[in-house]
Structure 1
Amino acid sequence: MSGGDAIARRALIQGAVGAAAAPVLLGNAPAPARRKPAPKGFLWGAAISAHQSEGNNTNSDAWLAENIEPTLFKERSGDACDSYHRYDQDFALAQQLGLNCYRLGIEWARIEPSEGHFSNAELDHYARVLTACRARGLAPVVTLSHFTVPLWFAKRGGFEVADAPQLFARYCAKVAERLGGLMHLVTTFNEANIGLLVSLFPQSEAGAKLQRAA
């Protein structure tokens, strides 16, 4: 998702919130429909990718891929929708929509911008983000890797290098140690089942490649 698309999405959500409130403000609120309550503990929320929404993730592999020439990307992420600074506005919109959870990503490239060097400032930033999420009545669901990785990690071969799992686990341990108490749920990889999902759609180019490789 490009930065322009992300900004447009935020504007669309804001418009939806306003439209939903309009009948109430005008005194023409429709009669509430009879609805079956969700099971206890059911989570209904919104989800974002950190790189696509925060903006200026300059230490990641995706940032380099966006900015080299030629590039496969139609538009650079740039500032995106600046969720890095405007996260509480996003949480407020989710709260107004009646959601009870919010899935967000933590960027490894921010936490460990160079190999073996961890940023306490960025860990503190994400602590503020998770605290603000909870303050809005939203359960934080954290993704530790949403397709992007630190540039240093990508340069050494990414997840295809033998010690990659240990390096990823080290990062996860740092995050868990500092932020674990603020999370409601955590997932290591976004869409870890993407290979299976793509294979279910053989008409797609990616699905056809997987079938040929099988």
Structure 2
Amino acid sequence: MSINAYLSKMRTSRKILLALTIALLVWLAWCLQGPAAIPVTAAQSLPTNFMWGVSTSAFQAEGGQLDSEWSRLNVTDKKQDRYGNSVDFRHRYREDVALARDLGVNTYRVGINWARVEPKQGQIDEAELAYYDDLILSLKQAGIAPLVTLDHFDYPGWASDQGGWTNPKTGEAFVAYAELIAKRYHKDVHMWITFNEAIGYIGGQAALHKLSLSETGRVRDNLVIAHGKVYDLIHQLDATAMVTSNIAWTGDRYGGSSMNRFSDWVFLDRIVDKCDVIAVDYYFSDLIEGLKGLTQQANWLWPPEPAGLYRALKHLQKKYPTKPILIAEIGMGTQDGKPRPDGVKREDALRDTVYWTQRARADGVNVIGYMVWSLTDNFEWGSYTPRFGLYTVNVLKDPTLKRIPTAAVPAYKEIIRDNGVGADYRPVSQQ
């Protein structure tokens, strides 16, 4: 190569590097600037058939001894709080259903724990099925529609022994369990979630079991196959059923949008043709702060950012225009119930996110429901310190497990009664 050709090539390389540097700086500037503020206008009431609800999961709330993925982890991980009886939903479900009824909710998202139903492979525990029978009955008697989650991050110990979700036999066994549950309850249950936050489930399995990339891919593939089969069998029993797998919103600040696109590519976009609704869990919109809360196991650090919910709903409506959208979980954590460092109050975050839900609906988003996480505090995957409940339960210090209402209880009652916040309401939190 001649000296002139060499110098020309160097100049070209510098130009490419300069262009890439400028592009990176522009992207960083855009990230730091954040989304534009949304005009604050009067909120319109939500429709009378809007789904107002509360959410929980089986393992987090039920308590008691069983052989499952998470009960084993709780024994081996000494950093975790001891699980014990959690908030004892297993025996206090009628009390909690009564609390939900008094709120005025028309929907209650509950979980059925596969490990409780099938403690040994092929062995069905009829006593535990009777418990779930009575749970569904108590909801029906209270005039509350059950939304059932079939798998919320937990599965039987025997399935773990065979490799968990890396083994296609686990998927086959899950479909058989789901068929048992669907046949038993399809006349009373018309809304189903197969897998809770599948992208987190996949990542959690990879981290817990130190899976290779190919093994992680098998987990994803087996979940996709199982979801499709369960979707089909539920619709064979109930053509009008609403079946989905909910997603976790990772935000639209500081790379959150890219993370959402990646997580959708991993799972949701592979099953979206077998989702009757897009169900989203919303806790934060700032990816960096969200990751900080996750890595420090301190989700009370998540900034609630209610206006981010509006942007999330608009994004999902644009990407999936033919699908209704359900807010399957939404809430705000505190540290042992103490005031948050940012000063945000639970009742204010509740009203603000409802306001932005109303705004999204008025602006053309077919959002059909809003489900608070959670009715009571519970076991937040290793710790009782995070408190999300409308009702506080001090598991570690109060053996009576008394349900103590927070200020968000009367706020939610008023919201449900009025189908939203009033036209004169203005958000407390900054955008």
Structure 2 counterpart of 1:58, from 55, 58, 66: 66
Q: Which residue of 1 aligns with 2:267?
A: none
Rounded to whole Å, the distance in 2 between the matches of 1:56 and 1:129 is 17
Q: By how many angstroms is 1:197 displaced?
A: 3.9
Which residue type is aligned with residue 44 of structure 1? Answer: W
User: Among 118, 139, 142, which residue is 1:112 paired with?
Assistant: 118
Paired residue for 2:184, among 178, 185, 194?
178
- Measure the CA separation in 2 of the matches of 1:52 and 1:120: 22
Secondary structure in 1 matching 2:168: coil
Question: Which residue pairs with 1:78 in the alignment?
Answer: 84
Partner of residue 55 from structure 2, selected from 47, 58, 69:
47
2:156 matched to 1:150?
A: yes
Question: Are 1:165 and 2:171 counterparts?
Answer: yes
Which of 125, 130, 141 is equivalent to 1:135?
A: 141
* 2: CA distance, partners of 1:158 / 1:50: 19
**Percent of pairs with identical residues:** 35
Which residue of structure 1 aligns with residue 95 of structure 2?
Answer: 89
1:30-79: CA deviation from partner (whole Å, max 9, x where unpaired)? xxxx98442243111100111111001422111111112xx164202211
Q: CA deviation at 1:131?
A: 0.5
Give 2:50's aligned amino acid. F
Q: Is 1:102 aligned to residue 105 of structure 2?
A: no
SS at match of 1:41: coil
1:41, 1:118 → 2: CA distance? Answer: 37
Give the paired residue count: 172
Deviation readout 1:176-201 (Å, 9 max, x if unpaired): 12222221311111123547745346
- Does the Cα contact within 8 Å between 1:104 and 1:141 map onto a contact in 2? yes
Q: 1:105, 1:143 → 2: CA distance?
A: 5
Which residue of 19, 38, 45 maps to 2:46? 38
Q: Does 1:67 align with 2:102?
A: no
Cα distance in 2 for partners of 1:134, 1:106 equals 16
Residues 142, 185 of structure 1: 8 Å contact kept? yes
SS in 1 for 2:186: helix
Instruction: Please state how far the C-alpha of 1:133 moved relative to its aligned partner.
Output: 0.9
Kindly provide the amino acid, as one letter, of the partner of residue 63 in structure 2.
G
Alignment of 1:121 onto 2:121: no
Structure 2 vs 1, CA of residues 111 and 75 (structure 1 numbering), >3 Å: closer, same or farther?
same
Conserved? CA contact 2:66–2:119, under 8 Å: no
Gaps of 5+ in 2: 1-41, 204-247, 251-258, 261-285, 296-431
Amino acid at match of 2:151: S
Unpaired segments ≥5 residues, structure 1: 1-33, 208-214
Match of 2:196 in 1: 190
- CA RMSD across the alignment: 2.4
CA distance in 2, matches of 1:106, 1:73: 27
CA distance in 2, matches of 1:202, 1:80: 30
Query: Residue 54 of structure 1 aligns to which amino acid in structure 2?
Result: E
Distance 1:40 1:134 in 2: 19
Counterpart of 2:189 in structure 1: which amino acid? M
Describe the shift of the 1:73–1:84 C-alpha distance in structure 2 as closer, same or farther (beyond 3 A). Answer: farther
